[in-house]
Amino acid sequence: MQKTVVKNFRELSIDELYGILKLRSEVFVVEQDCVYLDIDDKDQKALHIFIIKDEIIVGYTRLFNRGDYFPEASIGRVVTHQDYRNFGLGHVLIKESIEAIKTHYSTSKITISAQKHLKLFYESHQFVQVGEEYLEDDIPHIKMNR
């Protein structure tokens, strides 16, 4: 059984924060072989959504209100644990993130900086590419709006 949790930074337990940072490091730093500073002083402003399954955090996103990252609300650090992919958790995370933005930030306009290879995934959630491809931490990205 899985559980989706929505918390602001101060509501996170030490174990939850550790699990989130561990998952982000495992995927974004180690798996994607990308050396970058994940702890960027933005988590304190973010709303954190994560999925717990088998007592570990297996999926995660962070959300920002308008003006905190982009002029529109945004979703970032979308990540699924390697052992839990292909079960639809990414779709659950995006749906929950969109709803949380509507509920907590009273908007439906969302901007993301998406890894280019996930374009079709985000398009399935009504995101549309705007502008050209660019490199972010040496990984091809595209800006997408919903």
d(CA 62, CA 145): 16
DSSP 27: I
Domains and CATH numbers, the chain: 2-145 (3.40.630.30)
- Mean pLDDT, the chain, integer: 96
The pLDDT tens digits of the residues spanning 21-77 come to 999 999 999 999 888 889 999 999 999 999 999 999 999 999 999 999 899 999 999
C-alpha torsion angle, residues 92, 97, 113, 106 (rounded to 10): 150
Say how many C-beta atoms besides its own lie within 10 A of residue 96's C-beta. Answer: 19
Strands 73-80 and 110-115: parallel
Burial of 120 (0-12, 13-18, 19+ CB in 10 A): exposed
Which tens digit of pLDDT belongs to each residue from 62-116? 999 999 989 999 999 999 999 999 999 999 999 999 999 999 999 999 999 999 9
Does pLDDT of 1 surpass 90? no
